[in-house]
Structure formats: C-alpha cells, structure tokens
Amino acid sequence: MENEYDVFGIKRSDIDDYGRRNSNKESYKNRQFDGNRTMRDAYTGEKIHYSQTEKRTLKHDDIANTDHITPIEKIIQSYGDSLPIKDLKGMANADLNLAMTQEHLNKSKGQLTNSQYLLRQWQLGKPVNATTKIGRASCRERV
C-alpha cells in the first residue's frame, strides 16, 4: 500500500484519479495503448504489455504502469496551500503529467521527480538510459 502523504490537510488519495489514469474506458492507459496489447515505454523505449494477463511469464519490467511525471506529493507540496483540490487533481492527472512506463521503474521512482530518480540511480552506480518528459518535449538523458 502506498504511503499516504498529508500536507496542508491534503492526502494523496484526495488528488489521485485512478480511474482516469488506468481503468475507465477512456483512461490515459487505454488511450495510449489504443487497443494494442503492447507499446513502447515512454522513458526507456522498451516494449511494455498492457497487463499481466497478456503473458504469464512477464516480469515487472514488462508490465505497463502509469507514472505521474511530477509526483502527486510534489504537486501538493508546491501548490497545496494556494490551489483548490479540484485544480490539484486536474494538474496531477492531466495527460501532460502522465507517462506509460515499466511497473518496476515507476514503483522504484516512488515520490521522486524524474531528475531526482536519475540522480539517485547515478549515485547508486546504476546508470539509466531514459527519456525524461518535460511538458510536451522529451529529451534523452544518460546519467
């Protein structure tokens, strides 16, 4: 279970919109896969699968997960004292703030921004070749 982040009286669960990201018919995940069972990871370019049921031998690196590019916790920390929950929720779950990536990568990133994650991996001696999305643009970073 995810840690509940509570700043300014706002919890992660107040902001996250799982249905819009993953399960609704018109969810970000469904729109990105567009009826296909596989696609390319937005950060690594590797093939990811829609779900575990697609192939029982999948590793966590192969299963798709929707990442908040700017973590919900960072949005709450930065704007929670000045924006209403409705706006925070819209910002956190906007298409520009979402990316399809490997489940393992997303979960290891946790509450870190992409830059913080890449720095941490470098500090741990684990260079990552990943694309970091910044708004509508993306750039390849080798750390």
| pLDDT one-digit tens code per residue, 72-110 | 999 999 999 999 999 999 999 999 999 999 998 999 999
Indicate whether 4 pLDDT > 70: no
76, 10 contact by CB (below 8 A): yes
